[in-house]
Structure 1
Amino acid sequence: MSDSAVPSRQLPRGRHGLPRETVVASQRDRILSAMAQAMTENGYVGTSVAAIIKLAGVSRETFYEQFRSKEDCFEAAYERAAQLLLERIVEATATLQNAPAAREQRIEAMLGAYLGGLAAEPADARLFLIEVYAVGPEAIARRGELQESFAAMVADILEARTAEQYFACQTLVAAVSAMVTARVAADDLDGLRALREPLLELLRRSGDLFGSAEQIPSR
């Protein structure tokens, strides 16, 4: 996302006849996008409210009407980024719930949606994976909760039935998180997308480590 991408969402100047809630939602969206974009250059600590409102094209008064502080704004931006990524994954896998060979197809779809989503929104990915550690313990705890929700999704897809299999799924998600974080930090989006096939191959060779003994067939 370029610096010009955020202001481009601004509403028309002057009388536009739009409902108040539409205006507020547009302002909020621009502020959250600007928060993510500003941090790609200066990180959370180096990003000021002034930089956010300049990039978003809103006034300081508008910012503080919606957010108590920079940290409050970050938390909202983080939740939005997480929600968009989760929605992307759910949309990619929902139609495969009862399909033949659903396990294989769903894990492929999930990995594709997850890695593709991070690569498609690198500013949100950096916020989601990296800058969260600079915000404080509450934000880090929230990241842990979301990582656990990803682990639960993986465990469901891989049909984890035992505590040992569930732990293996948690370990897999933690490892994937570390690998994608390194590539996002290096702006290596091609490397991010390229993780999909090696991860699928790992699952093909895993037997019943993560769940059902049914293996993901090679193509």
Structure 2
Amino acid sequence: MTGRLRAPTGRYAGKSAKERQAERRRRFLDAALQLFGDTPGFRTTTVAALSEAAGLSTRQFYEEFRTLEDVLAALHLQVNDWAEQAVTAALPDAEDLPLAERAAVIFRTYAANVTADPRRIRITFVEIIGVSPRLEEQRLARRSRWVDLICAEARAAVERGEAAPRDYRLAATAFIGSVNGLLHDWNAGWVDATLDEVVEELVRQLLAILRPAEWSPGG
């Protein structure tokens, strides 16, 4: 299949073509979250199986997507968007909090969102890995947005006198890797801790990065 089929136009059952297309796409993504994020996983799911799970036809699949990889790419972006939107919505309420408490709000919100559904963790940290250069580029690009968030928080903390001034991009990149790894391992049952304890550990690690032993406020 070299490209998507042309979707029908006009109104049907009281819905416009655009509304019907959005509904079909949502149904395919909902089905993909179940099949890719649980059993059987992305690599052994077929177009026919996904279409059946969505209650749609394979023809309708090709009206929305070219390949199953396109579905995984869209689902990966959606899962990341959910987490990013949750964190962004939580930030205003934490605006005037001290650094440690603000960091706790960010990590608690992020952790609660991505761990609320184990399928989201599998999509983000497992199924997306090694599929293709295109998806690897997308994965790293989305991770870079979280790095940007940490760097922005670090710069703001420096301006408030709560953190040591330096370029934090390298440290933030390493830290985001540890965040993702710890949450994945916790969700898999490999970490004997509560989610609150995981968040507390992440806050301690971030504070250690932002406030090295040789630094002191106003120093």
TM-score for the superposition, normalised by structure 2: 0.78
Answer yes or no: is the 8 Å Cα contact 2:100–2:207 preserved in 1.
no
Partner of 2:200: 197
Partner of 2:29: 32
Aligned pair partner of 1:162 in 163, 166, 182 = 166
Q: Distance in 1 between matches of 2:216 and 2:142?
A: 27
Q: Distance in 2 between matches of 1:193 and 1:49?
A: 39
* Structure number with larger C-alpha Rg: 2
Partner of 1:111: 107
Residues 167, 36 of structure 1: CA spacing in aligned structure 2 closer, same or farther, 3 A cutoff? Answer: same
Answer yes or no: is the 8 Å Cα contact 2:175–2:206 preserved in 1.
no
Q: Distance in 1 between matches of 2:190 and 2:132?
A: 24
Q: Distance in 2 between matches of 1:187 and 1:201?
A: 20
Q: Distance in 2 between matches of 1:75 and 1:189?
A: 32
Answer yes or no: is the 8 Å Cα contact 1:130–1:185 preserved in 2.
no
Where do 1:91-170 residues align within 5 Å?
91-97=89-95, 99-101=96-98, 103-159=99-155, 161-163=165-167, 165-170=168-173
Identity between Structure 1 and Structure 2 (%): 21
Shift of 1:95: 3.7
Residues 44, 195 of structure 1: CA spacing in aligned structure 2 closer, same or farther, 3 A cutoff? Answer: same
Residues 190, 54 of structure 1: CA spacing in aligned structure 2 closer, same or farther, 3 A cutoff? Answer: farther
Where do 1:54-65 residues align within 5 Å?
54-65=52-63
Where do 1:66-81 residues align within 5 Å?
66-81=64-79
The answer for unaligned runs of 5 or more in structure 1 is: 1-14, 215-219
Shift of 1:100: 4.5
Q: Distance in 2 between matches of 1:64 and 1:187?
A: 40
Shift of 1:63: 0.8
Answer yes or no: is the 8 Å Cα contact 2:31–2:53 preserved in 1.
yes
Q: How many positions carry a matched residue from both structures?
A: 196
The answer for unaligned runs of 5 or more in structure 2 is: 1-11, 159-164
Answer yes or no: is the 8 Å Cα contact 1:88–1:113 preserved in 2.
yes
Q: Distance in 1 between matches of 2:110 and 2:180?
A: 11
Other structure's SS at 1:18 match:
coil
Q: CA RMSD in A?
A: 2.7
Shift of 1:180: 1.8
